[in-house]
Amino acid sequence: MKREVDGDPLEVCVAFDAATGKELWSAPLWLSDYGNAGGNSGTPDNSGGDGPRSTPTIVGDSVYLLDANLRLYALKLADGSEIWKKDLVAEYGAKNIKWLNAASPLVDGDSLFVAGGGSDQALLAFNRATGDLLWKAESDEITHATPVVATILGQKQVIFFTQTGLVAVTPEAGKVLWRYAFPYKVSTAASPVVYKDIVYCSAGYGVGAGAVKVAKSDGAFTATEIWRTPNSNINHWSTPVVKEGYLYGMFSFKEYGKGPLACIDIRTGEQKWAQAGFGPGNVILSGDTLLALSDKGELVLAKAQPASYEEMARADVLAGKCWSTPALAGANLVFARSTVEGGCFQIQ
């Protein structure tokens, strides 16, 4: 979060007691100078509140963060003390982009993956315990999208969404397995979504969405486009979830307070249904239930089904603007935040 420390506006990692909301510790990171960086957008009565873009990644007793200025941190979960840090710009020639970094670190096993954007080191892998560089690969520029890890046709792969499109690499060495050229205009923010051997991606600013089918022959991988919808099926920055071949997410572009929660067939790009009034909020999946947080702070439960939109419950839970993804703990506790407040809510 953004917080003033000794008179300076800083990005700060803060831990709270999940049961009470009491602050346990805070770890100042670096300056939070976003300038006119886009995070103040919204409806006339619900805008402002620019702040950090990425999410902490927690694994075991460590917290990993990639701040807006491409500084990578490992902190102790117990007290927020520093384990190691890397300045990707100074050490690896990383290049930041408009509206600054929004991607979060991806951890798989003992490895941590980030996109940096330097020459011959656009994709980076580190030992998460020590911060030592494991490998570097590619020459491309970053987007705002967090990479994902998936096993496709028996091969574990890390899929990055760079400015040239999707690139899948081996987690052990960064060897390229397949590519998919996908346009970049201004910003790409939603992460790729994997369903079996299909990989979906989307971007705003007139780009739209598309999907590829990954195949393997004689040990070599290929990715073949199965559909593309120019300037349609746009995920502005919210990554949809997938269940049984259907995507559920916020499909709109700059429709603050109005954009729909929609269901799209990941195999064809066909829209099954759309329900207006969510804006660029976020969706998570719990079993057969969608938990959708609108950009105006409404928490909505709906059935994850392609037949029709069926709402189960709705409540106004937060004031302010909600552009961040909620988190589910256990079976019924939802943690969510806005530009002005955060809270824990029980699903009954």
The DSSP string of 247-279 is: EEEE-BSS-TTTPPEEEEETTT--EEEEE-S--
pLDDT of residue 315: 97
**pLDDT level of residue 44 (50, 70, 90 thresholds):** confident
Q: What is the pLDDT of residue 30?
A: 87
Q: What's the pLDDT at 38?
A: 65
68-94 pLDDT, tens digit per residue, is 999 999 999 999 999 999 999 999 999
Identity (one letter) of the amino acid at 149?
A: V
Give me the residue label for tokens 């502005």.
Answer: 236
Instruction: State the pTM of this model.
Output: 0.95
Residues 16-32 have a mean pLDDT of 93
Confidence band of 348 (pLDDT split at 50, 70, 90): confident
Instruction: For 92-121, write each residue's pLDDT tens digit.
Output: 999 999 889 999 999 999 999 999 878 999
pLDDT higher than 90, residue 286: yes
Third-level CATH fold of 1-142: Lipocalin (2.40.128)
Is residue 74 within 8 Å of residue 85, measured between CB atoms?
yes
Segments making up each domain of the chain, as ranges:
1-142
Amino acid letter, 11:
E
pLDDT in tens, 317-327: 999 999 999 99
Confidence of residue 37 (pLDDT cuts 50, 70, 90): low
pLDDT range class, residue 345, cuts 50, 70, 90: very high
The closest alpha carbon to 62, from 48, 73, 53, 71, belongs to 73
Distance, CA of 145 to chain centre: 6
Mean of all residue pLDDT scores within the chain: 95
Q: Is 200 helix (H, G, I), strand (E, B) or coil?
A: strand
Task: Of 260, 273, 216, 215, give the one whose Cα is nearest residue 234.
Answer: 260
Quickly list H helices, 48-118: 88-92
Single-letter code of the amino acid located at 79: D
CB contact at 8 A, 239 and 249: yes
**Cα separation, 79 vs 310, whole angstroms:** 43
Least confident of 116-125, 162-171, 175-184, 256-265: 116-125
Instruction: Determine the straight-line distance between the first and last CA of the chain, rounded to whole angstroms.
Output: 29
